Structure 1
């Protein structure tokens, strides 16, 4: 209720107020109502409510107490009441009512008026227009592509940048149901937003209408209306050029790393090459000596073979490190990748610390093996460079690999200067470094490799707090499908190397004649072997019906027809040959070759390979062909 104190306040209140007594007379009017209608307060109180409204409304508004009471109790719904200015103009206003008491304690009805003149509404309307224009300008000229969907997921608006990104037209895009898009990850993100949750997507988008491929980053915000979610607005950033720049920077960083590793790799290659050549020379000299024991010659040749295999391993690891296939994510061997990285950087590690390994068998992960080798090499070099030179006996670099749930956990720990807790997040930022040399791309590149494989990388917080060196932890998700694929392409170690006296018919297809002849000599004691040094000749030999081959050892890279084409053309004529192919590779895969090998169950031998592995695979093919 209105009190006496409020009555005093109301006299100066800027809101126009009139107090109505039970008998319908005006018991109070403040200065604001006088200013609004251009009348003195005495005149208003003397003439009553009828003087405040236009003549045409006076018959309608008779019985003011009943009308106001009806408004107060909610029976009257019309809150609009034109007021009459002393000059004759009508003033549009709203009125509201609440009960009170006058100074004598008598009941009154207090009426407050709120002006709704054109002068007040015009600026508001103008402001609305300005805001609408501003919204249109921001929407159309924003630096990102924007589109709006309704609650059904149908596009209702989009800006020109979105049209350009998709490579289509507004006519085709407006009305498009986003739930029918072929990219299910984007559809799921939109569904999440329409369910009331902010969502995002980052990855490749292929526009069917524009026949364009782009890398995009999408943020999707739900729009909440009075009745719930009324749609969503999506902001799309084209990061294709950024991705290319990052890949270029990563490639440059990897080349720089290769330069850094070169001295150590040269040392690693020169040592085995030295005893390869020395052992071969010794074996040749011993062969010329009639009194030389065969065991001594055998020992020299075994030394030469061991050295050659070490060189082959180094070449394989360098090839893995320098691999150019950035985007592919195939089943990758974490342990083999770490071993490759260790071999490449061992010289740098040995100069500063002792290396300790705790490696358990782990399933494959879905990643690019060249990128994994780069990741591990960067982590190992980073650990080595954190340790001062000259005290290698008292420092350690520890590497741990183990399964952890649905992840493979890799830890690289050092006893160097450590990482401050305040720097634990910043170390993964591009170009950030606390060292006098280097670009600061090493750990940033590691972060990109790990997140690109769907994993996590972080600094162990306990080590950061205790300043006991540094430990970096990588979690990579297991590839269960890849686990099955790896098993499918390998033979058990105990597989037989002979065919129990059954001579098979073998075709070797390889343009390197010395290798083909060596393989023939190695297999001739157990099988009948033919050689084709060209792909077209191999197809003729396989399809002319003169000889039925039990096994085909086929190189993937041939000068005329590829090994893939030899396989496709020969199996088209004789489908039973499909299971008899064994592919020989030097490891330089193009996308077509890699996709092909992933699509078939046939075994493959990576050059250089040992004869026992060759004999095992040939024996398995011959046995299968004869059953």
Structure 2
């Protein structure tokens, strides 16, 4: 590789890392939204509990001053009723805490993946699950996209290039997500499938978005070509380049309402 080629390769690697960081920043807004909802729930329940303490205090004061009259009994009954009704909120608080922990776990998932050493075995199914969870930080993807995940049985363990594979799959899923967002009416659906075909590990990503215009299809893997306006137009180019460097191939077919990308990789190379 000559000096210009080496510089281009280094630039492409740097862009892939930068694009991943940018995606994290964009999707982190969705994570913050989820966290705010959970924190708001916790805050609301804490206020209700504070009100309970106030009511309990008032009723205890009545008990102390009532001298055992019928009013005292009524106050005790009222106190028990309040405590019973408010105690039903505790499971809801507990679930909110668990949800908050899960949101934070998703935010740290990328860092955990980066911490894996090159010798750690993984599977293509694990890559799919990881990227699906990562994109759930996008509220549209999480709440409106109907996802069908078909994971092949007996997928062999893989030994290297996990970050590269996650990057490729992220580019494909992000492309599908943009296509779905451009579709104005539901349903919005996404299908991800993994399978083993002989010596090849294959992944298929299919969406029912707006599709790729016929005049654009010949350019879809070209650098700086984008139909989304706000994108750099390098995602699919880098996906193709990465797959080919791993000895595999990538392709697609698209008609209005259905776009299908697939990639095929030699299992022994990864």
Query: What range is the shorter-chain TM-score in?
Result: 0.5 to 0.7
CA distance in 1 between partners of 2:48 and 2:241 (Å): 50
Change in CA separation of 1:425 and 1:477 when aligned onto 2, cut-off 3 Å: farther
- Structure number with greater CO (CA < 8 Å, separation at least 6) is 2
Per the alignment, in what secondary structure is the counterpart of residue 434 of structure 1?
coil
The structure with the largest strand share of the pair is: 1
User: Quick one: which of 262, 273, 284 aligns to 2:28?
Assistant: 262
Per the alignment, in what secondary structure is the counterpart of residue 201 of structure 2?
strand
Deviation, structure 1 residue 413: 0.9
CA distance in 2 between partners of 1:425 and 1:320 (Å): 38
Per the alignment, in what secondary structure is the counterpart of residue 365 of structure 1?
coil
Note if 1:382 corresponds to 2:148: no
Residues 54-73 of structure 1 correspond to what in structure 2 (within 5 A)?
Answer: none
- Contact residue 280 and residue 300 of structure 1 kept, 8 A: no
- Contact residue 276 and residue 303 of structure 1 kept, 8 A: no
Indicate the residue corresponding to 1:357 in structure 2: 149
Deviation, structure 1 residue 286: 9.3
Per the alignment, in what secondary structure is the counterpart of residue 195 of structure 2?
strand
- Contact residue 195 and residue 201 of structure 2 kept, 8 A: yes
Under a length normalisation based on structure 1, what TM-score does the superposition of the two structures give? 0.32
Indicate the residue corresponding to 1:64 in structure 2: none
Deviation, structure 1 residue 305: 5.0
Per the alignment, in what secondary structure is the counterpart of residue 398 of structure 1?
strand
CA distance in 1 between partners of 2:140 and 2:263 (Å): 22
Note if 1:450 corresponds to 2:238: no
Deviation, structure 1 residue 317: 2.7
Deviation, structure 1 residue 443: 1.0
Q: Give CA deviations for 1:56-109 in whole Å, capped at 9, x if unaligned.
A: xxxxxxxxxxxxxxxxxxxxxxxxxxxxxxxxxxxxxxxxxxxxxxxxxxxxxx
User: Quick one: which of 308, 314, 325 aligns to 2:106?
Assistant: 314
Per the alignment, in what secondary structure is the counterpart of residue 416 of structure 1?
coil
Deviation, structure 1 residue 296: 5.5
Deviation, structure 1 residue 353: 4.2
The structure with the largest helix share of the pair is: 2
- Contact residue 320 and residue 373 of structure 1 kept, 8 A: no
Change in CA separation of 1:279 and 1:373 when aligned onto 2, cut-off 3 Å: farther
CA distance in 2 between partners of 1:307 and 1:428 (Å): 39
Deviation, structure 1 residue 431: 1.0
User: Quick one: which of 234, 239, 255 aligns to 1:441?
Assistant: 234
Change in CA separation of 1:303 and 1:471 when aligned onto 2, cut-off 3 Å: same
Change in CA separation of 1:384 and 1:408 when aligned onto 2, cut-off 3 Å: same
- Contact residue 332 and residue 368 of structure 1 kept, 8 A: no
Change in CA separation of 1:332 and 1:316 when aligned onto 2, cut-off 3 Å: farther
CA distance in 2 between partners of 1:389 and 1:404 (Å): 33
User: Quick one: which of 341, 344, 350 aligns to 2:134?
Assistant: 344
Per the alignment, in what secondary structure is the counterpart of residue 150 of structure 2?
strand
Q: Give CA deviations for 1:267-298 in whole Å, capped at 9, x if unaligned.
A: 233334445666788899999x99768x9687
CA distance in 2 between partners of 1:451 and 1:281 (Å): 58
- Contact residue 283 and residue 301 of structure 1 kept, 8 A: no
- Contact residue 413 and residue 471 of structure 1 kept, 8 A: yes
Note if 1:252 corresponds to 2:18: yes
CA distance in 2 between partners of 1:352 and 1:250 (Å): 28
Deviation, structure 1 residue 472: 0.5
Deviation, structure 1 residue 470: 1.1
Deviation, structure 1 residue 259: 3.2
Q: Give CA deviations for 1:422-475 in whole Å, capped at 9, x if unaligned.
A: 65453222212233331101112222343344433211xxx33x5552101122
Per the alignment, in what secondary structure is the counterpart of residue 399 of structure 1?
strand
Indicate the residue corresponding to 1:536 in structure 2: none
| Root-mean-square deviation over aligned CA pairs | 4.0
Change in CA separation of 1:301 and 1:349 when aligned onto 2, cut-off 3 Å: closer
Indicate the residue corresponding to 2:206 in structure 1: 413
CA distance in 2 between partners of 1:353 and 1:432 (Å): 26
The answer for unaligned runs of 5 or more in structure 2 is 57-78
Per the alignment, in what secondary structure is the counterpart of residue 433 of structure 1?
coil
- Contact residue 275 and residue 307 of structure 1 kept, 8 A: no
Under a length normalisation based on structure 2, what TM-score does the superposition of the two structures give? 0.68
Per the alignment, in what secondary structure is the counterpart of residue 428 of structure 1?
coil
Indicate the residue corresponding to 1:398 in structure 2: 191
Residues 114-513 of structure 1 correspond to what in structure 2 (within 5 A)?
Answer: 216=1, 237-238=2-3, 239-275=5-41, 299=91, 302-304=94-96, 306-319=98-111, 323=114, 330-346=120-136, 347-349=139-141, 353-361=145-153, 362-387=155-180, 388-391=182-185, 393-419=186-212, 423-424=216-217, 426-459=219-252, 463-464=253-254, 466-478=255-267
Change in CA separation of 1:279 and 1:476 when aligned onto 2, cut-off 3 Å: farther
Indicate the residue corresponding to 1:517 in structure 2: none
> Considering only CA atoms, is the larger Rg found in Structure 1 or Structure 2?
1
CA distance in 2 between partners of 1:310 and 1:457 (Å): 34
Per the alignment, in what secondary structure is the counterpart of residue 204 of structure 2?
strand
Deviation, structure 1 residue 386: 1.8
